[in-house]
Chain A
Amino acid sequence: MSGLDPMQLEPGLWPFLIATVVKMLVIFTIYMVVVAYTTLAERKVSAWIQDRHGPNRVGPWGLFQVLADGVKNFLKEETMPGEVNKPLFLLAPAVAFTCALVAWAVIPFGAPLPTPWGRIDLVVADLPIGFLYTLAITSIGVYGIVLAGWSSNNKYALLGGLRSSAQMVSYEVAMGLSTVCVLLIAGNVSLPGIIAQQVETSWNIGLLSVAAFLFLVSAFAETNRVPFDLPEAESELIAGYHSEYSAMKFSLFFIAEYANMLTASALFVTFFLGGWDIPFTSWDNTGPATVAKALATFGMFAAKVLFFVFFYIWIRWTLPRFRYDQLMSLGWKFMLPVALAYVVVVASALLGLDAAGIARGTRAFTLSLVGLNAVLLVLLFVILDRGRIISPAASRLERERVERLRRVAAARTTIAPGELR
């Protein structure tokens, strides 16, 4: 794993600074363009799923729709509702937008790139605690929404902000616990380290399928996407936390949502799909670094991330929204216990495999973990995946209440309207 050695560039401050600034500019540009086009992709995919055409008037196949939307948002009037808490009202979109962007800094997006000045790691900031950093940043992201809801002086916005904070706190727990398994197996909290582990053994989606599933579901909740988009449930809360925002401030929230989606996809890819690793070949992670390898692995990473962005959109146009109590019971009564139990199972399995002398990276290690996960997945999806697990209507208290109501109704002498039908 010499490719992941942090000391690669020429020593000195300037090479490091210049390389970092160039990486930041390149990543920022690509990221913003991709985010912009994700909004178009959302509209296009939703149209195709609903047997429509989608935007196709601006430019060929509607490709310039993004520019038209951007110009429109810049030129629109910024309204400032009366009695808002101005500093927080202005701060909120900035917080949401910034947090969505900076989470990307620690995600490795390619094999190291050789340059005349030494090898450059294709990650903006190779933090040794990258994993904790992503957790922290995604948690701060909730402040953008909460502050927007609070400062708007609007009951719907406030309700949206409240919902969002409760939801994010609930799912943060399950998300954190599901990634604990990744840390257990990698023995490392730096994201390049986690990718190196996956290159060495195999992708974590096979070794930790249940954690991958839990992480995916929590990521949907964390990014406020359907089926967990209760903070902006338009049928109940107008537009939730961004009801009072207009023009570019609204646009920042909009960009932040898509940027978050991209970040969550990239995190999933990094934790469970081997990051930039190209499957079924070791060409990309052995031998000296070349430009071709860097480009190919970057392409692979982009392909994986974009697939998950597509998956997000696909889910959005497939599922309806959860009811709020269902959301909470799913988070606390299902995701959290399963994630906790899974941490115990994975920890014991790793301990057992170590005790049995099966080294990590061997075929036996991989096969035994994959087998364990297959069994657990069958248990989870066939036996545990029942409505009674997360439907609060099936709780014992609720059932007792229903029984009591039935007894009361049976004791009544008058004919209830329902009985006439």
Chain B
Amino acid sequence: MGINVKVMERPVGEASYVRATLKGLALTLKHLVDPHRVTIQYPEEKWDLSPRWRGTHRMLTTEDGKAKCVACGLCPTVCPANCIKLVPGEDETGNRYPLVFEIDEFRCIFCGYCQEVCPEEAIHLGRHYENAEFNRERFVYDLERLTAQTHPVSTLWDPADPRGE
């Protein structure tokens, strides 16, 4: 014990073992007979996600099944993680469309800027979290995969309506 160690005054005279033990036993018994379980039994029960949940991406499509994306290049520009790869193409009528649109979900930080900046409301983040794959390559989502996703999409936070009312 060092010189500068503060010596605590313990109430050893009042401290009790048996009564304190009984008190503890009563507490644990209370929890035993009246548990406050918060566990979600995952595969059977699923968590109710917030509407603002930002999960893996989804590309919305037009009525004829094509991606809404016009390859404007705003999302790769705004992306802070630099995870969107976009090669624009142009068809014979002069409409731009993405030749290559890939999102590396491992690089993505799920900030939601791409959804916010998209003028066509094409790229969205998803309310979705079951993303497991068996290899790393599968985490680079191409355009086909992004359009094929069906999970609900995120509603981003609106500064004009901060509480989502």
Contacts and interface: CB of A to CB of B under 8 A. Distances in A.
Interface string A291-327: 0000000000000000000000011011100000000
Given A48-B32, A387-B10, A387-B12, A405 B1 contact: yes
Contacts of B41: 53, 56
A386 B28 contact: no
A406 B4 contact: no
Contacts of B5: 405, 418
Interface stretch (A263-271, A366-374, A390-398): A390-398
A283 interface: no
Interface of B: 1, 3-7, 10-19, 21, 24-25, 27-29, 31-32, 35-39, 41
Contact of B12 (A319, A388, A409): A388
Nearest to A418: B6
Given A385-B19, A386-B13, A51 B38 contact: yes
B17 A385 contact: yes
Interface string A43-82: 0010011111100100000000000000000000000000
A356 interface: no
B29 A386 contact: no
A387 B3 contact: no
B7 A406 contact: yes
Contacts of A408: 3
A188 to B, nearest CB: 31
A355 interface: no
B30 to A, nearest CB: 9
A149 B17 CA distance: 31
Interface residues of A, number: 33
A319 B3 CA distance: 33
Contacts of B29: 314
Contacts of A385: 16-19
Given A405-B7, A418-B4, A394 B12 contact: yes
Contacts of A49: 28, 31-32
Given A381-B19, A391-B12, A48 B31 contact: yes
**Contact residues of A: prevailing secondary structure:** helix
A52 B41 CA distance: 11
A13 interface: no
Contacts of B24: 318-319
Contacts of A56: 41
A416 interface: yes
Given A385-B16, A387-B14, A416 B4 contact: yes
Given A416-B3, A418-B6, 6 more contacts: A51-B31, A51-B35, A53-B41, A318-B21, A402-B7, A405-B7
Given A386-B12, A388-B13, A391-B12, A314 B4 contact: no
B32 A409 contact: no
B36 A387 contact: no
A418 B38 CA distance: 42
Nearest to A377: B18
A385 B18 CA distance: 7
22 contacts: A45-B32, A48-B32, A51-B36, A51-B37, A51-B38, A52-B37, A56-B41, A314-B25, A314-B29, A319-B21, A380-B18, A385-B17, A385-B19, A386-B12, A387-B13, A387-B16, A394-B12, A401-B1, A402-B7, A405-B1, A416-B3, A418-B6
Contact of B28 (A53, A317, A418): A317
A245 B125 CA distance: 49
B8 to A, nearest CB: 9
Contacts of A53: 37, 39, 41
Contacts of B1: 401, 405
A417 B6 CA distance: 9
Contacts of A412: 3
Nearest to B33: A48
B31 A50 contact: yes
Given A51-B35, A418-B4, A315 B25 contact: yes
A51 B28 CA distance: 10
B36 A393 contact: no
Query: Most A CB atoms within 10 A — which of B6, B11, B41?
Result: B6
Contacts of A380: 18
Query: Most A CB atoms within 10 A — which of B1, B27, B39?
Result: B39
Contacts of B21: 315, 318-319
Contacts of A416: 3-4
Nearest to A408: B3
Nearest to A48: B32
A37 B24 CA distance: 25
A255 B19 CA distance: 32
Interface string A308-349: 000000110111000000000000000000000000000000
Nearest to A421: B6
